[in-house]
Chain A
Amino acid sequence: ETGVTQTPRHLVMGMTNKKSLKCEQHLGHNAMYWYKQSAKKPLELMFVYNFKEQTENNSVPSRFSPECPNSSHLFLHLHTLQPEDSALYLCASSQVLGNQPQHFGDGTRLSIL
Chain B
Amino acid sequence: AQTVTQSQPEMSVQEAETVTLSCTYDTSESDYYLFWYKQPPSRQMILVIRQEAYKQQNATENRFSVNFQKAAKSFSLKISDSQLGDAAMYFCAAYSGAGSYQLTFGKGTKLSVIP
A residues with a Cβ closer than 8 A to B are 2, 31, 40-43, 45, 48, 50, 55-56, 58, 88, 90, 92, 97-99, 101-107, 109
Q: Please give me the residue from chain B that is nearest to A108 by CB atom.
A: B43
B30 within 8 A of partner (CB): no
**Using Cβ atoms and an 8 Å threshold, which residues of chain A touch B103?**
45, 102
User: In the complex, what's the smallest C-beta–C-beta distance from A90 to chain B, in angstroms?
Assistant: 6
Q: Indicate which residue in B35, B37, B102, B108 contacts A45 across the interface (CB closer than 8 Å).
A: B102
Interface size on B, residues (CB 8 A): 24
CB–CB B35/A101 < 8 A: yes
Knowing A45-B103, A56-B102 are in contact, say whether A107-B4 is a contact too (CB < 8 A).
no
B106–A42 CB distance below 8 A: yes
